[in-house]
């Protein structure tokens, strides 16, 4: 069975690009346009990895990450940050557990390499 990845990203172009390439690598892909939608998606299905943008409307990535780590059932899900920000927000740093950090823009092969590291594939 293929690994499941949740993409929490408000930019539909990035969602489409990530989804296209990840499906081409035989991953199952779930998408959410903001942190609130990401939490709702988690209630339905538990992914093997989350790719998280930080700057989003409704609920930003930092708030999503804090809420994610508050739930014991989701604490072990690796999170890969993909954002234009160089600096990691203090609350995320304090909570720890980030599997990786990619600064946009990045090459899709770099993303795939990080995913393979996170999922040990």
Q: DSSP for 23-44, please give it.
A: HHTT-EEEEESSHHHHHHHHHH
pLDDT at site 63: 94
Residue 121's pLDDT is 66
Does residue 115 sit in helix, strand or coil? Answer: helix
Average pLDDT score over the chain = 90
72-95 pLDDT, tens digit per residue, is: 999 889 999 998 877 777 788 777
Q: Give residue 29's pLDDT.
A: 96
- Alpha-carbon span 89 to 91, nearest angstrom: 6
pLDDT digits (tens, 9 = 90+) for 23-39: 999 999 999 999 999 99
Is the CB of residue 51 less than 8 Å from the CB of residue 27? Answer: no
Q: How far is CA 112 from CA 5, 78, 96, in A?
A: 12, 15, 22
Q: What is the CATH number of the domain that holds 100?
A: 3.40.50.2300
Number of domains in the chain: 1
- Model pLDDT, residue 45: 94
The pair of structure tokens assigned to 66 is 């804090």
For the chain, the distance separating the N- and C-terminal CA atoms, rounded to the nearest angstrom, is 13
Residue 118: Cβ within 10 Å count? 19
**What domain range is 23 assigned to?**
4-119
User: Would the pLDDT of 1 be above 70?
Assistant: no
């Amino acid at each position: 069975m293929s690994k499941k990845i949740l993409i929490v990203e408000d930019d539909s172009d990035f969602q489409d690009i990530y989804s296209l390439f990840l499906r081409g690598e035989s991953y199952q892909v779930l998408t959410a346009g903001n942190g609130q939608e990401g939490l709702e998606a988690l209630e339905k299905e538990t992914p093997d990895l989350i790719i998280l943008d930080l700057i989003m409307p409704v609920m930003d990535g930092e708030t999503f990450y804090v809420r994610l780590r508050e739930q014991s059932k989701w604490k072990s899900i690796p999170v890969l940050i993909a954002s234009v920000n160089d600096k990691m927000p203090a609350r995320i740093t304090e909570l720890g557990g980030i599997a990786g950090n990619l600064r946009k823009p990045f090459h899709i092969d770099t993303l795939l390499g990080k995913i393979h590291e996170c999922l040990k594939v």
